[in-house]
Amino acid sequence: MKAAVWYGKKDLRVDEIELKQTKDTDVKVRVAWAGICGSDLHEYEEGPVFVPNEKEDPLTGEIAPLTMGHEFAGVIEEVGPKVTKYKVGDRVAINPTITYGNKPEDLDPYDGFSFIGLHSDGGFTKYANVPEDNVYLLPESLTLQDGALVEPTAVAVQAVKEGKLQFGDTVAVFGAGPIGLMTIIAAKAAGASKIIALDLSETRIEKAKELGATHVVNSSEQDAVTAIKEIVPDGVDVSFEVAGVAPTFKQAIDSTRARGTMVIVSIFAREIEWNPIQLTNTGVKVTSTIAYTPTTFQQTVDLMGTGQLKPQGIITDQIQLDDIVENGFEALTNDKSQAKIVVELSGEK
């Protein structure tokens, strides 16, 4: 079967592969749709970031080359003999996080932490083996394409929870890429009264407005902090850093009110220089998030199922697996009008 396989930096190939043997507690999923994530782009442009390429991943035992893709949904084709919760034909979304599972779930995302599709074979292919505990049933109100959006939406839901956002709070989102846009959607669903989106791209700013931002700032034309404080004079209650560069890191802190919270959601590809006195002078609290808890993932499925979370508008293109490099990874790298590109595998609804 065909798969998008990561070999190294700027080396993603559509190859013929064999599916590894299904374990007793695995389900075999016929992949319908899979999304390309910002972390996938980091691996493509700068990797290895997460992908194990010199020694085996301690949790998965895998090493590159491996099949990418961790935002995916599909239909269960086969269940292992020890699987008890699912059956053939179930429509499911995949939670790709794999941990040791020895700690409370609020700590568990950081206990080991490997990703299907980054540390082991993932969903950019026809079939994928997934541990039973990583499978979540989709309600009938959601399509399988919707199911491919659960994972990135869960990232944003967890970020909003980490920021302890309350009804009526004001928010600034630095970076209107895919996860920044998801964060806007999640903040709106959580009751933010003002959502200020900032980006250098006018196209992305317009997309942010479309998806729920109440105010937008083009950071190439205005000073970000000044613009925010013209809208919220004392600073926002919660800011989200979703760009991953030094200027936005510092601006996010400066634009947050005293004793407010800045949440780091992005992956920083490079080290930055920063003086913590910026916090000492304001009392701003800084926290971060990389993924989500199982509870947050299930909540995301439920909220999407009821229509309280509506991330579908983030999709800007649908492509075939054969075109994933040029029309997927390269398009997302070079075309700022693209937000979320989904790859059609079986294409089932």
- Mean predicted confidence (pLDDT) in 61-84: 96
Identify the sign of the CA torsion 249, 252, 255, 257. negative
What pLDDT sits at residue 107?
A: 85
Judge if pTM exceeds 0.85. yes
pLDDT in tens, 277-290: 999 989 999 999 98
Confidence of residue 269 (pLDDT cuts 50, 70, 90): confident
Comparing 43-47, 211-215, 266-270, the range with the smallest average pLDDT is: 266-270
Q: Quick one: tokens of 307?
A: 């229509």
Q: Quick one: tokens of 127?
A: 């079939």
What pLDDT sits at residue 155?
A: 97
pLDDT in tens, 96-121: 999 988 999 988 888 878 999 999 99
What pLDDT sits at residue 22?
A: 92
Q: Quick one: tokens of 68?
A: 């990418």
What pLDDT sits at residue 108?
A: 85
Q: At what angle do helices 150-162 and 294-306 cross, to 10 degrees?
A: 110
User: At which residue do the structure tokens 């390429």 appear?
Assistant: 53
Whether 57 contacts 7, CB under 8 Å: no
How many Cα atoms within 13 Å fall on the side-chain side of residue 327? 14
Identify the sign of the CA torsion 29, 183, 107, 302. negative
Mean of all residue pLDDT scores within the chain: 96
pLDDT higher than threshold 90 for residue 270: no
Q: d(Cα 247, Cα 224) in Å, to the nearest integer? A: 10
What pLDDT sits at residue 163?
A: 98
What pLDDT sits at residue 54?
A: 85
- Which residue type is seen at 34? A
pLDDT in tens, 292-326: 999 999 999 999 999 999 999 999 999 999 999 99
Smallest CA-to-CA distance from 290 within 118, 136, 159 is with 159
Comparing 96-105, 125-134, 236-245, the range with the smallest average pLDDT is: 96-105
